[in-house]
Amino acid sequence: MSKIKKKELQALQEVVNRIQSIQSQLGLYEIEKHALLHEMVTARQQVQAQQADLEEKYGKVSIDVKTGEYKEIEEDETNKED
């Protein structure tokens, strides 16, 4: 069977190894991305729970997360039932 030159084989192997390395890294990034997306869902659920607790305590308010100041959210007159 015929073979390519040793130098050509080495060059080809280097490129193929680089591709495999990149594919492996991309797989790891996807796993990390998946984990981060789950963390984001958990954080959003925590915010929603805290918002519900704060609404129960203070009513419908808009809270400045930097200062802690809040103001009541005025219900639009057109949304009120008679």
pLDDT digits (tens, 9 = 90+) for 16-31: 999 999 999 999 999 9
How do residues 35-76 score in pLDDT, each as one tens digit?
Answer: 999 999 999 999 999 999 999 999 999 999 999 999 999 887
Tell me how far apart the alpha carbons of residues 2 and 5 are, in angstroms, rounded to a whole number: 10
The per-residue pLDDT for 80 is 59
Give the residue among 64, 65, 61, 56 at the shortest CA–CA distance from 75.
Answer: 61
Q: Which pTM value belongs to this model?
A: 0.66
Task: Give residues with Cβ within 8 angstroms of 3, minimum separation 6.
Answer: 9
The per-residue pLDDT for 75 is 80
Sequence ranges of the domains in the chain: 6-75
81, pLDDT greater than 70: no
DSSP H or E segment with residue 52:
helix 6-58
Q: For the chain, what is the largest distance between any 2 Cα atoms, rounded to a whole number of angstroms? A: 92
The per-residue pLDDT for 82 is 53
